[in-house]
Amino acid sequence: MLLICYPKIFSSYFFSFNFPFSLADFRVGFYNATCPNAESIVQSVVAEHFAADPSVPAALLRMYFHDCFVRGCDASILISPTKKKTTERSAGPNQTVRGFDIIDEAESSLETQCPGNVSCADIIALAVRDAVALAGGPKYDVPTGRLDGLISNPNDVNLPGPQLTVSQALAFFTNKGFTLDDMVVLLGGHTVGVAHCTFFRDRLGNFQGTGQPDPTMDPALLAKLKETCGPRAKPLKSDPTAFLDQNASFAIDNSYYSQIMQKRGVMQIDQELADDNSTAATVQGLAADAAGFARRFADALVRLGSVEIKQGSDGEIRRSCQAFNTRSTKP
């Protein structure tokens, strides 16, 4: 069971970006004429869920990343599997993704007011923006005008895992157009959320087959995680979890970087960022500059939302976020 606490109150930042996109239908305020209340409807739904569950920002950030890194930001992660057809939601890395109910509720409200106008892919991007702000993070503009994808295949799901080195993880990010510094900033999303023990258990007692704990982990954190996880692995559904940021677990801020500089990274990739020569300076800079992290995190989230977006005949506006329209093609 998670211990629920509320985030500290942080000053808000608002960032507006000039988007150098050549896609005329991808812009801030895309729905101003066709569904002028679209963004406020999404914001209201997210705020209601956040009031009941402060872990909502972590859930939506993870959904956003898992969607955009597989076939682009096209809401393909939302398609529900059936008895005859598996989808991205069936893939192992997506088994613990949460927040589908939030997107469905927002879409239902939008369909009532503006039927057939707002894509599920845009709902995800808007929901993430609103959740980030509610958790004390930056406020920023989100371009909209994405269409929903026509394919959702579990075999396409290939995401960077928690036990990768910096260079191994970077290969995934450069494939999507991000730099090494971008990767460090985006992984700052680990300032909220939890990880199941199975994703870091090796660090607690048999790191890389040594039979010993990871020597880079703070001894106090090691003892705490051992107590949390217990001596034996458990099925994922009953596997305990630990906060990725042991300091301000529900606040989107730069404390994650201070934590990993103190050897308190929970997952291997987090600690690698602080220890690797190629990323250590960036980690130190972000740890020392809260406003700089907020600005760069907002920019990185906006650019993440522009990865391989669908337009024209490559997409549709789904009538239900969980299912393709009948004209969709599926592999």
Catalytic (active-site) positions: 66
User: Phi and psi of 320, rounded to 5°?
Assistant: -135, 130
Same domain, 151 and 62: yes
The answer to whether 72 is a known ligand-binding residue is: yes
Q: Is residue 325 part of a domain?
A: no
Locate 322 and state its tokens.
Answer: 């969980």
Q: Count up the domains in the chain and report the number.
A: 2
Same domain, 109 and 182: no
Q: Is residue 18 part of a domain?
A: no
The answer to whether 34 is a known ligand-binding residue is: no
Q: Is residue 10 part of a domain?
A: no
How high is the pLDDT of residue 23?
52
Same domain, 197 and 215: yes
Q: Is residue 60 part of a domain?
A: yes
C-alpha to C-alpha distance for 328 and 331, rounded to whole angstroms: 10
The answer to whether 312 is a known ligand-binding residue is: no
CB contact at 8 A, 259 and 265: yes
Sole residue written with tokens 């977006």:
309
Same domain, 153 and 243: no
How high is the pLDDT of residue 7?
32
Question: For the chain, what is the total number of helices (H) and then of strands (E)?
Answer: 12, 6
Same domain, 282 and 183: yes
Same domain, 95 and 133: yes
Domain containing residue 41: CATH number: 1.10.520.10
Locate 20 and state its tokens.
Answer: 């150098």
The answer to whether 74 is a known ligand-binding residue is: yes
How high is the pLDDT of residue 19?
41
How high is the pLDDT of residue 249?
86
At residue 36, the 3 state secondary structure works out as coil
Per-residue pLDDT of the chain (331 residues; tens, 9 = 90+): 233 332 333 334 444 444 433 455 899 999 999 999 999 999 999 999 999 999 999 999 999 999 999 999 999 999 999 999 999 999 999 989 999 999 999 999 999 999 999 999 999 999 999 999 999 999 999 999 999 999 999 999 999 999 999 999 999 999 999 999 999 999 999 999 999 999 999 999 999 999 999 999 999 999 999 999 999 989 988 999 999 998 888 999 999 999 999 999 999 999 999 999 999 999 999 999 999 999 999 999 999 999 999 989 999 999 999 999 975 444 4
Q: Is residue 72 part of a domain?
A: yes
The answer to whether 90 is a known ligand-binding residue is: no
Domain containing residue 262: CATH number: 1.10.420.10
How high is the pLDDT of residue 29?
94
Q: Is residue 195 part of a domain?
A: yes
> Would you call 256 exposed, middle or buried from its count of C-beta atoms within 10 A (0-12, 13-18, 19+)?
buried
Q: Is residue 12 part of a domain?
A: no
Same domain, 31 and 109: yes
User: Phi and psi of 231, rounded to 5°?
Assistant: -80, -20
The domain in which residue 118 lies consists of: 26-159+305-314
Same domain, 293 and 193: yes
Beta bridge partners of 165: none
Same domain, 286 and 176: yes
Same domain, 238 and 279: yes
How high is the pLDDT of residue 33?
95
Same domain, 178 and 274: yes
Same domain, 55 and 124: yes
The answer to whether 275 is a known ligand-binding residue is: no
Q: Is residue 222 part of a domain?
A: yes
Locate 230 and state its tokens.
Answer: 């217990």
